[in-house]
Structure 1
């Protein structure tokens, strides 16, 4: 029995009473819900807590706080990060508090004020060959807190080395407090917000006018009062050293200076009822009838525009007065009109005189794994190579029989300039690049032949553009009109969402391309031959005695998504004695050709994996839960200091 080459069903076509059509209503409902979720997600704060990359490790994390005479603090962070096995490996992410509750008594009670911090003049460097690109995002956390998220690295680049070293510098304002003296009472590392740390040193330098009078330092989990491993001061320098901090531990220190020795040594305070971001960012303030009405009107207009586009602007051309699939002797002079879309396509008993790759692109305007798989088998059937699906290898026989550009591209990708007898592995390193090149080669062929009036961009160029565009539009909208409140934002969304969805529907229709009359006639022939392979029974197939009809039409069955049916039909021919049970000349597996169903299925899935690019690494920053941080009280009261009692609190890790 011939093998089953189970090509993925994503490209399966319905019988050609209609060409590959629009996505289902359910799919677009899903797109709508996803877009709404993305929109509302912009307004839902993400609160930082324990970092998800629990197997990351800081080999060293060194912080230097240089207090200036004007009360600002120049911060330098030197860190060597060892990536864990579940790290995104794009770079380093930090979060610095920009607002937190303030209790001047230090008793953990409520206050009518919140404390704020300002940061500026960021600079990032690294001795390693990694991206030091920096992005900054303010993240609200409830009504009284917020963070500045810093991401260092490039989302499109993965760091290959196990470790990377960064130096980050910035200026901070609002870190000092005054009680009986000026205090630098600061949660240098937020408890539970960083990976484990093998070694950490913290240095605090003050102006010559501000010698250190007292120092306290604790390490551990939240509320811990365990002393740091080593801490000391001399003159204007504080030195703190700790080792082997677990990922739930933080460091809090309090250094005291003489009153009046540093200017502006007061916290930055705002009324606690000051809106955190926008006071109108509340669902209760939304004018739902207006928003809903606006959405309905825009959706109706967008739907009408798309309907007109599909009816008048995206229709194929067709030769008027000629039967489907017929190309007149002088096509340039033939009368051409719009395809009505309801013509019955006649059965065609042989494939059109084009390659399976060209046929695959013509039928829906897309290049997929079925095309490269069909082309590979077509080359084997032509005698260009022998195929071993069990080992996922091919052997070059005669490259000269390849007469199509995409076939030559595939052979060059597999074998370079090597000669007959050369073996090549069908792996992702080879096939992913070849797949993209083959797509471009076929597109160039059909463009030169004039089979399309318009053809959508290739998958590589198109990848991610739709939802990337949605995200960009929503983020820009948030940045430009966020201050106007949730009503304005949702009004903008009510306009943007129907337009974006309409554009997506339009693109889905446009994705298959708009065929010229010649392209439409060839597509009729393709659909007619697909109808033949999808409906013919074994006793209806006519072929010459000794002809290997299974191999001859197998590439087409692959592209049509009919491999399983074609295999069963040919098995019946074997049983009837009309088709030889000998292994095809292009097969070189170690097992029996007729029994290797599982191997063939595995081969096809391998082809799919090898030609599919790896998805981008997910965002695993994993900040969840309540922030649990606050500020207030002296670091030199009778009860001592504890983790989380000071201001600030940096969280960090890989992303």
Structure 2
């Protein structure tokens, strides 16, 4: 590695005399017969690239190999990094490049090696400098090395050093030529030693393009290297793939939510000729909320309790204007789904036929089974492939594990001055995965179709009026629709539409007077709020309404 890159030494007359040697031509002998010699021509382009042509003569029966370092130390903690492009050999040999080295391997004969260098021009204080090693890393001694440099404008100075890396021994000769040229010569360069040429340039001769990288400390650990850039690119592709996958899985939902959807036809005629309410795809009120937002919420259970009353499993009555009573009407049978039986058992367990809402508050009922049964139910109905809560939990923990792993790897790589960006990228990916876990549950095609129908059901709840329903069927249709209005947040509108009708209710009343719909419209919201409060105390469910 070369040291003392910050020095700018102007040739003294005693050290920079010219011997008058001629420049070798391609195919001609460079150096004495039977020896290895090199004629190196450097041309700095206006864009800052350095074009290099090396004419090397290797005697018969021998080979020569050069390994050019592309990372050269400028201090204990910093490297100057060069890039080589378009390396090629005209003759017997080959040239290959990596991020750290240029390797030239030549057989006997005269070969011409060409390549371009990026990073040879540096701004050092107020001075602009071109720097390159026209000879270094040869595995054999060179009899002579001749160097010529052409710059866009007349050069201001030249400094040529020869010897082992780090030494400041001047070249045999070096001088500023006429016009835009620099010439230098080294006689007898041992194997492994280098020639280092620095040319002072006119201001604006070429844009500075030198790249300095930290080799230790935080700056080095987080430096953007080809490796870290490749990792970042891979992460970007991975994240893009994940976004595309989610877009594909969620695309059905997006189409279901896009555009105008009118009310669905939920009013049908039964065999007796009466009008009845029929939910889309047979979805129950509690299932509606879970399909829509992929969570089991308190409102889903509240709507299920109302639905159980509407279907004559419970009787609900107000007590003294401050409490509500639940009375068992019919036992939970096989017509109920698993989650409905769990709700029924939570309200009226075996052996209990009557309970006050205030008693449920003090009992602190457990709704964990309700949640589990409802999630299992939406999977059994083929609206989801897997339980939404399990899917969210899986990706959450995968994201957390990936974040912890990334943080650990980052700390380790910082300690050993490795590419810490790799660990940081892993941590960021883990955080993104954990945050995106809530979006992982995806509905099936059937679930997306149901989502569209639920929008239509909401349209029905918003637009339907008592005049749309025969008077004889009005109480039943109003009651069967009410739990869906509760879960979809349309309770106030539904009650307001029917409050003016004179009708009783077969499933809800007060101890003194059962079935006054006007009174019901006033008191029912208070009942819903009280039930929500009791269920929220039980835990396990989100306490969102609507």
Q: More helix by proportion, 1 or 2?
A: 2
Pick 1 or 2: higher relative contact order, CA cutoff 8 A, min separation 6. Answer: 1
Bigger Rg over Cα = 2
- TM-score computed with the length of structure 1 as normaliser: 0.39
- TM-score computed with the length of structure 2 as normaliser: 0.45
